[in-house]
Amino acid sequence: MKKSILAILCITLFLSAKTDRAFRFVVVGDRTGSAVDQVFEEIIDEIKLLDPDFVMCVGDLIEGYETDTTVMYAQWDSILATIETLPCKFYFVPGNHELQNETDRAIYVEKTGVKRYYSFNYENSHFIILDNSMTYWAQPQEMGAEQLAWLEKDLEKHKQMDNIFAFYHIPTYIYALRENRTDTLVQIFEKYGVDAVFTGHHHEYSYFNRNNIEYINVGSSGGGMSTNDPARGHFYHYLMVSVRGQQRNIAVLKKESALLRNVVTLEDIRIIRQLDEQAITIDDCVVDEDVKELTQAVKVTVNNSGPDSLIHSIQWQVDPTRYTITPSDMPLAIASEEEKEYMFDVTVLNGSDLFPMPSFTLAYPFTYGKVCTLYNLLSVKRHKFIDELTSPPIIDGRLDDLIWQAVSPITQFAHYDGSAPASIENTEIYFAHDNDNLYFAARCHESDFSQLRTETYEHDGTTYSDDNVWLFFDSNLDQETYYQAIINCNGAVFDRSCRAIEGTVTRDLSWNGAWEVASGREDKAWTLEFKIAKQELAPFNEDKWGFNMRRLQTRLGDAGYWSIPFAHAPQYFGILEFR
């Protein structure tokens, strides 16, 4: 009898030890999306020292967006060579940089050895990997009925596990929160008791807990970031997750440091995004393309909604060959819950040579014990006169019409943040109009036609992935409703009507404009012409329209922007004025 009791005790202890055995895994964030050289490789070296049981990712390990499969294979070979130096297993998750089409999917499966979505168990925890790599343009349910059905079946089968972890690339729950709608995946996770969700795509860390599910957006493990402000979650990092039974600890590991998981909360991100829009208001400095020099008085309003006094200064960073600002340095002393106004005289030396734009930064105490950096550009609202025609151009994709030779084109475009002129090749944009129609022409220089991306020919196809021009028209100047058209170098159009209300954008893909478009080729440039009836963009203002645009040059992996910032935000559009 004693032997039997001893045997049962030993078995119980063995099973208990096995069930409760602690394990650790690392989660790395996006490596690509303008990868910064060697950051990911250095993080992999740090992970080797930590000796985890395995490593997870959240997608975007390669740059992708390539039509040349040789390049895609080379990118995979390069990253796999780095990953293979790890002494443990690495689990893959697809991101939008890996998967753009069926060819990409086949290469992904071949090189990683896994399906696009799958699951596995480790100890008494269950791990789910999903593919939502293309839901940037769609809602989560458009991941596909088959995948969602598989997910629910898999969760039902494993719902008794101690822990359930989900990994996928695009944090659709963040978009749902912003737009006050329900996220399909969140509903499923809450139904089956998922414990933690890990995502990427946004190169910023954030943490959120809802209904006892932890949502962690893993930021950059090498991907480019728009700032270096830790308060925004902008720092290179990865996660170490320790599991024992149903207990989980998640550490955010910066280079050479370990941080609490709530070092940046989703609430911090919300507050800072709100401050970006509301804390500092800069009056528009309206600059016509054809004006050589002008001086305007510009008011800067600073609102301190934080708990502490704001003691700092506005120190303008100015290129003296393009601007002068007086005074260049303005001390600030603003009590909590106080607002103050400051006046500056801004001189623009050449209306067609605006970049880099003047800027200043402000250390802002946004909550108790935390300070963020606010980045502020001079609010330059670009303006372009459009002349009326007596006879229309022929829409044939050729820019040899005398009409275009008489038009002064838009030729200067900026880096996305206005910090420098764009690195794209020369681009010339022409506008004209008559009583009924708007006319447009573009000459986009390209020194290597062999790398011109020209895949789409159908209407509302993926023109946004090709070399293209991207146009916004706020034709009634209400800063709310507007039209969008993305026209690629084949003359194919992706268009929709949009509405932006308090930062939430709704898009109607069913809207289609009657564009008369033609494309062409010159020796070192591709060209476009289009004509559209003004009534197609109704309701419209007879005198002025809001407008913005960019030109994407895929070979250089860069775009040039007209009015900064470039966004689905019509309050930032420039102005087209008919005369």
Domain boundaries defined on the chain: 2-274, 279-378, 382-578
Q: Assign 156 to helix, strand or coil.
A: helix
Question: Under CATH, to which class is 279-378 assigned?
Answer: mainly beta
Indicate whether 135 pLDDT > 70: no
Residue whose token pair is 């609202």: 381
Which among 285, 280, 219 is positioned nearest to 252, based on CA atoms?
219
Q: Tell if the pTM clears 0.85, that is, is over it.
A: no
Q: Return the higher-pLDDT residue of 65 and 321.
A: 321
> Mind listing the pLDDT tens digit for each residue in 363-416?
999 998 899 999 999 999 999 999 999 999 999 999 999 999 999 999 999 999
**Across 37-47, average pLDDT:** 94
Question: What is the spatial distance between Cα 214 and Cα 250, in angstroms, rounded to a whole number?
Answer: 10
Equal CATH topology for 279-378 and 382-578: yes
Specify the CATH superfamily of domain 2-274. Answer: Metallo-dependent phosphatases (3.60.21.10)
The domain made up of 382-578 has a fold known as: Immunoglobulin-like (2.60.40)
Averaged confidence pLDDT in the chain: 93
Q: Please, what is the angle between helix 145-158 and helix 184-192, to 10°?
A: 20
Query: What pLDDT shows up at residue 10?
Result: 44
Is the pLDDT confidence value at 257 over 90? no
- SS3 state at 18: helix
Angle at 41 between CA 36 and CA 44, to 5 degrees: 135
Predicted pLDDT at 143: 80
Q: Summarize the confidence of residues 267-275 as an average pLDDT.
A: 96
The neighbour count for residue 256, using CB atoms within 10 Å, is: 6
Q: Is the peptide bond before 393 cis (omega within 30 degrees of 0)?
A: no
Q: Mean pLDDT, to the nearest integer, of 336-352?
A: 96
Query: In this structure, are residues 160 and 85 in contact, taking their beta carbons and an 8 Å threshold?
Result: no
Q: How confident is the model at residue 139 (pLDDT cuts 50, 70, 90)?
A: low
